[in-house]
Amino acid sequence: MTAAGVSSGIDMALTLAARIAGDQIARAIQLGIEYDPEPPFDSGSTAKATPGVIELVRRNAATFA
C-alpha cells in the first residue's frame, strides 16, 4: 500500500491500523491526532467519536501522562 502527500498518508496509516488492530483502534488513533477532514473513519472529534472510542483514547492518554 502506498500514499502520496500528508493527508493521504494519514488516511493510509488509519486504514492499515484498522486492518492490523481493528476499526476501533484506528478510530481512537484518529481521535487522538484530531484528524477530521473526510478520512476513512469519522472519529476525528469527540462530537463524532463513539463513547467507546473516546474512553479508549482517555485511558491510553492517562497511561502516558
| Structural domain spans, the chain | 6-64
How far is Cα 18 from Cα 22, in angstroms, rounded to an integer?
Answer: 4
Q: 10-residue block means of pLDDT along the chain (65 residues)?
A: 87 95 94 82 86 91 78
pLDDT at site 39: 63
- Confidence at residue 44, expressed as pLDDT on a 0 to 100 scale: 83
**pLDDT computed for residue 4 by the predictor:** 85
Measured distance CA(14)–CA(56) in Å, rounded: 16
pTM for the complete prediction?
0.65
SS3 of residue 30 by DSSP: helix
Indicate the helix (H) or strand (E) that contains 34: none
Residue among 38, 41, 36 at smallest CA distance from 17: 41
Other Cβ atoms closer than 10 A to 37: 8
